[in-house]
Amino acid sequence: MFNYVNDNNPIGNVVTVFCQTHNHSIPLDPANRHYQEVLDAIIADGADCFDGDIPEDLQAAADEKQFNQQLAAYRVATARLAQYVVAEGRNQVTEMQPTGEQVFNEETMEMEDVMHEVITVTAIEPVEATVTRLVYDETDPMAEPVEETIENPVITTDVAERAEAQATVDATPQPVKDAA
Amino acid sequence: MTVKVSKPAINVREELADLRKPTGVAGEAMLRADTPQEQFNLIGAGRRNILINGDFQVSQRGDFTTASSATSNYYWVDRWLPSLGTVTANWQHKTDQLVNGIITNTARLEATSSATGYFQLYQKIEGYKICLGREVTISAWVKSNYPVNLYCYDGASQIGYSENHPADGQWHKLTSTFVLNSSSGALSAYVSTYDKASSAITTGDYFEAALVQLELGKVATPFEHRSYGEELALAQRFYTRLGNDDGGFTHLMVGAAEGATTYVVSRSLSTMMRAVPTLTVGSGVNAFTASAGAVSVIGFSTRCTRDIACISTNVSGTATIGQAAVLYDAGANGYIELDAEL
């Protein structure tokens, strides 16, 4: 539990945060780890972590920190979603790019770039949908192993990671998305 | 015109014999170096250890020489923290241990419960940016009955795992070299039971670490010994404890009564701290003015900067405004802490 302290000294006021749990007096310095913990507590618990109202400047600092955290998470998530789906593979993409040479076009009477086709995205085959593995009976080491067909673990991991990334994107507030 | 030149005769056998100097691999490498900088790097010259208190000389927070219950992610011997996953452990700061022929201090963690988990010791590094995109080597002497390893954390993932300790209860030097990603946002060095996953920990599993070093380059050079005073000054950038906590009535800070119950006291710090520090006044600190006498500290708030410790205290009694005031070590917990750790 924190509370805001204004020491009201004759030579001038200094505002700090006091942590009642650890008996700390915390300066309002962004480089101080306890100050960052105060902001984290405000993000996580809101007014419940504060004795009295949260001062406006602290709330604003906590809001900015949360915004930056959400922005970073959103960028990571969208980058993950932009990766190809391993179960579907990826098509090759080519584009025409100048070689650096130029030739004279007699019809237009201008120099023109010589173009050639360049592969900008290489093709990747989809992975096998399933894999077969041998399963041994732990209770009977002499028993013959049984074949078991399961979803390719690479696909399982890809699906889980994409779902997690999509959940992050869905939970991101629109102002954060707009800033990305 | 013909010019006649004469040269002294040379003995080819002697010249060839000179080429057979007793030069080892390292010597050959030095000879092959193109620049003084390359030679500098080859022999690991200059200040090498990026870690502070790698030989556990400094322990400002107290005496941990008796094994006691460790608190996870709580700063312990200076700059070092234990991290406990699922299990509990004791920490112990051992002094004057013989490690590879060197008398040094060590840090020991021992599990006091059994579970699938981990226990580890780590240090967060402030100046990690010098390592970005470069080869980095971590090394330490470790004694353990568990296959512990060294690794680093780059702010996103664990990297640079060393080989495992053979878990034979003997001292072994573990090393690992890796390239720190140029976009890494942090760097911490670990001695750990964690090996890419939690594992089965049993009560009594332990490790003891000594001479931990993190350096640029791909070679684990011998540990760079620094004096106690130097390590203390480096550590005080992150944490400073004022007072010996011995109840010796030492004046910790001096100032004046700026109000009848408000004393503002200050003191210059010997080391500029990393950030404006968090302030804690121990329960054994009392205040004094001539008019109010010895009084208790009821409350306090920081007025510190990075180089000056300054406190506004609320005290009992009624003082004459303007009188000189002191805070002093009056008994157990008679200290003042300044914390600017990462």
Confidence of residue A41 (pLDDT cuts 50, 70, 90): very high
Q: Which CATH number fits domain B239-339: 2.60.40, 1.20.58, 2.30.29, 1.10.10?
A: 2.60.40
Cα A153 to Cα A79, A124, A137, A168, B6, distances in angstroms: 21, 18, 21, 23, 82
d(CA A70, CA A180): 10
Read off φ and ψ for residue B299, nearest 5 degrees.
Answer: -155, 165
Give the model's pLDDT for residue B27. Answer: 81
Q: What is the tens place of the pLDDT at every residue in B84-140?
A: 999 999 999 999 999 999 999 999 999 999 999 999 999 999 999 999 999 999 999
Mean confidence (pLDDT) of chain A: 93
Picking from B183, B281, B302 by the largest number of A CB atoms within 10 A of its own CB, the best residue to mutate is: B302
Contact status, residue B336 vs residue B310, Cβ threshold 8 Å: no
Residue B21 has pLDDT above 80, yes or no: no
- Which of B275, B301, B303 faces A32 most closely, judged by CB atoms? B275
Mean confidence (pLDDT) of chain B: 93
Picking from A6, A18, A32 by the largest number of B CB atoms within 10 A of its own CB, the best residue to mutate is: A32
ipTM: 0.84
User: Looking at chain A, which residue has its C-alpha nearest residue B261?
Assistant: A9
Residue A52 has pLDDT above 90, yes or no: no
Q: Which long-range contacts (CB under 8 A, 24 or more apart) does A28-31 make?
A: A28/A57, A28/A58, A29/B275, A29/B276, A30/A61, A31/B274, A31/B275, A31/B276, A31/B340
Say yes or no: A51 contacts chain B, CB-CB below 8 A: no
Give the model's pLDDT for residue B1. Answer: 63
Q: What is the tens place of the pLDDT at every residue in B208-247?
A: 999 999 999 999 999 999 999 999 999 999 999 998 777 7
Give the model's pLDDT for residue B211. Answer: 98
Q: Average of pLDDT values for B293-303? A: 95
B194: left (phi over 0), alpha (psi -120 to 50) or beta: beta
Q: Which residues of A touch B275 (CB under 8 A)?
A: 29, 31-33
Read off φ and ψ for residue B276, nearest 5 degrees.
Answer: -60, 125
Q: Average of pLDDT values for B44-58? A: 90
Q: What is the tens place of the pLDDT at every residue in B309-342?
A: 999 999 999 999 999 999 999 988 999 999 999 9
d(CA A25, CA B311): 10
Residues of chain B with CATH 2.60.40: 239-339
Q: What is the tens place of the pLDDT at every residue in B69-83?
A: 999 999 999 999 999
Q: Which residues of B touch A24 (CB under 8 A)?
A: 278-280, 339
d(CA B300, CA B279): 9
Q: For B68-236, give the CATH class.
A: mainly beta
d(CA B241, CA B334): 10
Confidence of residue A66 (pLDDT cuts 50, 70, 90): very high
Residues of chain B with CATH 2.60.120.260: 68-236
Contact B301 A10 (CB under 8 A): no
Residue B43 has pLDDT above 80, yes or no: no
Tell me the angle at which helices A33-45 and A56-82 cross, rounded to the nearest 10 degrees: 80
Confidence of residue A12 (pLDDT cuts 50, 70, 90): confident
- Which of B274, B281, B304 faces A27 most closely, judged by CB atoms? B304
Nearest CA-CA partner of A180 in A80, A72, A83? A72
Radius of gyration over every alpha carbon of chain B, rounded to an integer in angstroms: 27
Query: Chain B closest CA to A102's CA: distance in Å?
Result: 39
The burial of A178, by beta-carbon neighbours within 10 Å (0-12 exposed, 13-18 middle, 19 or more buried), is given as exposed
